């Protein structure tokens, strides 16, 4: 069982780590320019697209869980239909984003409420990156499907290729062509379309022979579409809550001043790195729990769940130790502005405890997705966001300032993990029969 989990988790971890590494490169490129406003602008630009694109994260998560269950049941045709439905939704979603892009930008700038210089940089970044929408959303569908098919290696190859290409192009455009924010945006645009084409090529190479005529039938079957929409609407609400919390965190940071805002954006890179690494075991939990649930294999399901938590805590502990020992070194890689580094070090203690605490909600997310227990996942996120995070932020911020903001974030993570654990018997184990 450990071998099976690691076979899924290791490619996911390697692939996932390339995502925050790209964000680190982008922030580092901006962090070594003339002032902290560049860090803020790229931080807010990425935040806007996280909100937009992660809203479609159900394409990745929902397709993974549902495909994994069909693999467990042995229904090849339905697994292909899920991919086709996902790609169709991706392109429809991209068209909607194009139609409302000006409104999305103006609303984002209004909510961020920053200065004119930062807004100008954000607008430049937005106007370029928005045109990556079809490729970005299409990649969500393909990567989710590959993971559901228990093929984490292809997902890893695509993700690493996209992010390495993105980092290289961005570095060249910013460093040698002096394109600043435009360089980072163009790097993302080119890399996303390259990755989408790679996904199509790999799909045709490895799966073309398995596509049968029946797989193209019933793609628009009403019952199946209703199930797809129901599961994914819950995941959408859950994801929007998560993005809203992180976005609120960044906006409130900036309201404390550009130095605090820049420091927190750098520290959020630590969270991103840990989250994507630990998510490797969450992704493995999605695939393996969905497969054993579909096969009605209770013994292996329970064993897989237990081992995913063990491995997750092991990796989380490594991250915590690394941040404790090398926090300053990582910050100095991200920026050469000593005032920002010094300020960020005052809050790095929160980053030391975050990785271990985050293991519980991350792995449960994977298991809930694998079983398509989306309603419970949605409800626990709503509880953590609106009953815990926001009330505690407003209670603590006036007394503890930025420390209060970080404590509210830690309580948010704890609330998710505890509530998911309490619900697990009813929405996970009882479903096994």
pLDDT tens for the chain, 433 residues long, are: 777 777 766 776 766 555 545 555 666 665 555 555 666 677 777 778 877 877 787 777 778 878 888 888 877 888 888 898 889 889 999 999 999 999 999 988 887 777 777 788 889 889 999 999 999 999 989 998 998 888 888 988 998 899 889 888 988 998 888 887 888 889 989 999 999 999 999 999 988 777 665 566 676 676 766 777 766 778 788 888 888 898 888 888 877 777 888 888 888 878 888 887 888 888 788 888 888 887 888 888 889 899 999 999 999 999 999 999 998 988 887 777 788 888 889 999 998 999 999 999 999 998 998 887 888 989 999 999 999 999 999 998 888 989 999 999 999 999 999 999 999 988 888 877 6
- The helix/strand/coil state of 150 is coil
**The predicted structure's pLDDT at residue 127:** 93
- The helix/strand/coil state of 104 is helix
The domains of the chain are located at: 2-432
Structure tokens of 239?
């994801």
* Cβ neighbours of residue 240 closer than 8 Å, sequence gap 6 or more: 51, 54, 55
Residue 127: φ, ψ to 5°: -60, -20
**Which pTM value belongs to this model?**
0.74
**The predicted structure's pLDDT at residue 37:** 62
Helix axes 181-207, 133-148, angle to 10 degrees: 40
CB 22 within 8 A of CB 82: no
CA of 274: how far to CAs of 261, 269, 354, in Å?
Answer: 20, 9, 8
Which helix (H) or strand (E) element contains residue 240?
A: helix 222-255
Q: What is the DSSP letter of 35?
A: S
* Cβ neighbours of residue 84 closer than 8 Å, sequence gap 6 or more: 215, 216, 219
Report the alpha-carbon distance of residue 82 to residue 294 in Å, rounded: 15
**The predicted structure's pLDDT at residue 12:** 64
Report the alpha-carbon distance of residue 170 to residue 382 in Å, rounded: 36
**The predicted structure's pLDDT at residue 23:** 55
**The predicted structure's pLDDT at residue 330:** 83
State the alpha helices, DSSP H only, in 256-297.
258-294
Indicate the burial class of 105 (C-beta count within 10 angstroms; 0-12, 13-18, 19 or more): middle
Extended strands (E) in 204-244? none
């Amino acid at each position: 069982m450990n071998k099976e989990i690691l076979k899924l988790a290791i490619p996911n971890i390697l692939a996932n780590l390339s995502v925050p590494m790209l964000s680190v490169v982008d922030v580092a490129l901006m962090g070594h320019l003339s002032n902290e406003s560049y860090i803020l602008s790229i931080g807010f630009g990425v935040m806007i697209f996280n909100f937009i694109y992660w809203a479609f994260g159900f394409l990745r998560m929902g397709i993974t869980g549902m495909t994994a269950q069909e693999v467990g049941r042995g229904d090849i045709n339905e697994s292909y239909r899920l991919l086709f439905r996902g790609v169709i939704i991706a392109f429809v979603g991209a068209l909607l984003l194009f139609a409302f892009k000006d409104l999305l930008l103006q609303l984002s700038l209004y909510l961020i409420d920053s200065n004119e210089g930062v807004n100008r940089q954000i607008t430049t970044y937005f106007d370029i990156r928005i045109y990556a929408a079809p490729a970005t959303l299409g990649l969500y569908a393909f990567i989710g499907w590959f993971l559901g098919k228990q093929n984490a290696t292809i997902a890893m190859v695509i993700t690493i290729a996209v992010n390495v290409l993105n980092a290289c192009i961005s570095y060249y455009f910013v460093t040698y062509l002096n394109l600043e924010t435009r360089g980072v945006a163009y790097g993302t645009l080119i890399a996303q379309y390259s990755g989408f084409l790679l996904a199509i090529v790999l799909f045709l190479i490895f799966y073309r022979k398995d596509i049968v005529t029946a797989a193209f039938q019933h793609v628009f079957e009403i019952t199946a579409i209703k199930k797809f929409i129901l599961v994914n609407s819950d995941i959408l609400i859950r994801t929007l809550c998560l993005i809203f919390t992180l976005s609120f965190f960044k906006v409130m940071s900036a309201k404390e001043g550009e130095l605090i805002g820049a420091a927190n954006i750098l520290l959020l890179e630590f969270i991103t790195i840990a989250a994507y690494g630990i998510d490797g075991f969450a992704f493995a939990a999605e695939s393996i729990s969905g497969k054993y649930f579909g096969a009605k294999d209770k013994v292996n399901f329970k064993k897989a769940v237990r081992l995913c938590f063990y491995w997750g805590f092991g990796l989380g502990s490594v991250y915590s130790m690394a941040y404790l020992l090398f926090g300053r070194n990582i910050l100095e890689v991200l920026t050469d502005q000593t005032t920002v580094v010094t300020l960020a070090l005052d809050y790095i203690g929160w980053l030391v405890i975050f990785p271990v605490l985050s293991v519980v909600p991350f792995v449960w997310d994977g298991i809930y997705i694998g079983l398509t227990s989306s309603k419970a996942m949605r409800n626990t996120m709503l509880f953590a966001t609106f009953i815990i995070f926001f009330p505690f932020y407003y209670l603590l911020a006036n007394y503890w300032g930025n420390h209060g903001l970080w404590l509210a974030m830690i309580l948010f993570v704890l609330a998710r993990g505890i509530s998911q654990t309490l619900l697990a018997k009813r929405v996970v184990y009882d479903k096994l029969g």
